[in-house]
Structure 1
């Protein structure tokens, strides 16, 4: 079941096209990353997803409810943590949650459950002004989970957290998604965290989604491989570039770094051997999210 479906979404502000005809979907229980540089359109997209601004055109569907035509039912299925959550600092963590629970008609048992889920049992009755940033993020996450949403939207949720706080938050999100069968949409600048957390990721730049790709065993499933190649003879890089399965060639010291179509390494080796080139080294570089980000968003190998 598709929890979120975005079709041909556009947003124009003045004469500037901010979001340019993007489409993607999120399946039930999936953790979906949304990556791009500052100004790429991430925040504008999120503001449309949570109903803060209307798209110029296109459609957003949440659990089958059209966000424009059936706003109330669509938004009932969403929980969100957008950067630093707004909290009453003079109240305790529990009192903050109870205020929200009363408005949403959420039973006390559910409040206790989310407190357990985010690991705040020992500090929930302290005043929020005594909380660390990590604890405030946990409380904000607990608040977003109170209505048991089908879709959790997180916009830069680990901003300002130290490494242990980032790891803790990641594990809490994984636990919440698993226990509740919840889908998660997360926008973040921390590529390593997205790689460790997400099932799929969309790369956006200049309002355009460049690619949507799967992450399997903390590595990217892509259409290309990056090969490191050392040849004993002198060879002009143009010879390698001319091969139809080679996308780009870069000389680094005495080696070549090539982007080639996936699973074409044997064909490359066969070509070199048949043309009497002696291969000293050849290996496939592990493709992490950072490398893929540089290819898609920054336009090449670094």
Structure 2
């Protein structure tokens, strides 16, 4: 089931088109990453998703409810931390959570569970004005999780967290997604964290989605090379030649492409071998094996 659907959404400010027609969806229990450079449209998209601004045209649907036509029903199922968490600095962390729990009709038991979940037990009764940035992020996450929302929207959620805090955050998000079936939409500039956390990722640039890709289970090994070969020569013959090459670990035909996994730094040797076997090579390129490389490829015009 799709918890979030964005359908041909545009946003124009004055004469400037910020978002130029984007489409994406997030399923129940899925952690979805949203990546792009500064000014690409990430924050504008998130502000539309939480109802802070309205799209110029297109539809945003949350749990079957159109955000414009049924705003209250749509946002009822949303928890969010957008930019810096909005908290009352003169209240304690606990008092902040209690206020939100009353609005969402959540129990004190859940509030106490969330305090423990985000690791704020020792400081929860301190005034928020005394909190560090990382502590505010933890409290903001706890606030967003009150009432078990079906869609959790997070904008740079690990900002200010130390390494142990990031690991704890990752565990909390994975648990919410997998055990509670919560859909998570997360924007972050920490690509390695997105790689470790997300199931799919969308790359946005200049107001347009450049690509939406699965990232779970990607082979990001550093001791092997993954390459793709496109040849005009008979594919079965090409596969036969490749399989007899000792430094080729595996090969697979997928449509017109032959995907090859080989030992590190053997690409040039493989090309020479294929040419010596009279194989006509139309295209040969190294596959990007990490999110950072893929990001650079899409955003910076990198070469495959």
TM-score range relative to shorter protein = 0.7 to 0.9
Shift in Å at residue 103 of structure 1?
Answer: 2.5
Out of 272, 275, 284, which is 2:275 matched to? 272
Q: Deviations over 1:245-275 (max 9, x none)?
A: 9xxxxxxxxxxxxxxx863449x75742324
Q: How does 1:100-111 map to 2 (within 5 A)?
A: 100-111=100-111
Q: C-alpha separation between the residues in 1 aligned to 2:18 and 2:118?
A: 35
Is the counterpart of residue 154 in structure 1 residue 157 in structure 2?
Answer: no
SS at match of 1:98: helix
Q: C-alpha separation between the residues in 1 aligned to 2:103 and 2:37?
A: 37
Is the counterpart of residue 287 in structure 1 residue 271 in structure 2?
Answer: no
Q: How does 1:44-55 map to 2 (within 5 A)?
A: 44-55=44-55
Shift in Å at residue 53 of structure 1?
Answer: 1.0
Q: Deviations over 1:88-143 (max 9, x none)?
A: 23322111111112233322222122223223233322332333322211110111
Q: How does 1:124-139 map to 2 (within 5 A)?
A: 124-139=124-139
Q: How does 1:105-124 map to 2 (within 5 A)?
A: 105-124=105-124
Asked if structure 2 preserves the Cα contact closer than 8 Å seen for 1:3 and 1:63, the reply is yes
Shift in Å at residue 7 of structure 1?
Answer: 0.6
Kindly report structure 1 stretches of 4+ aligned residues shifted beyond 4 Å: 242-245, 282-286
Q: Deviations over 1:29-73 (max 9, x none)?
A: 000000000010101111111111111111110011111111100
When the two chains are superposed, the root-mean-square deviation of aligned CA atoms in Å is 3.0
Asked if structure 1 preserves the Cα contact closer than 8 Å seen for 2:231 and 2:279, the reply is no
SS at match of 1:54: coil
SS at match of 2:213: strand
SS at match of 1:47: helix
Out of 286, 295, 298, which is 1:296 matched to? 298
SS at match of 1:217: coil
Q: C-alpha separation between the residues in 2 aligned to 1:122 and 1:61?
A: 39
Is the counterpart of residue 17 in structure 1 residue 17 in structure 2?
Answer: yes
Q: How does 1:19-58 map to 2 (within 5 A)?
A: 19-58=19-58
Shift in Å at residue 208 of structure 1?
Answer: 0.6
TM-score by length of 1: 0.79
Asked if structure 2 preserves the Cα contact closer than 8 Å seen for 1:9 and 1:59, the reply is yes
Q: C-alpha separation between the residues in 1 aligned to 2:152 and 2:171?
A: 15
Match of 1:263 in 2: 258
Q: Which segments of 5 or more consecutive residues in structure 2 lack a partner in the other structure?
A: 234-255, 262-269
SS at match of 1:17: strand
Match of 1:90 in 2: 90
Q: C-alpha separation between the residues in 2 aligned to 1:29 and 1:287?
A: 25
Q: Which segments of 5 or more consecutive residues in structure 1 lack a partner in the other structure?
A: 229-239, 246-260
Q: Deviations over 1:129-184 (max 9, x none)?
A: 33332221111011111121100000111223333332222222222223322110
Q: C-alpha separation between the residues in 2 aligned to 1:283 and 1:296?
A: 15
Q: C-alpha separation between the residues in 2 aligned to 1:141 and 1:107?
A: 17
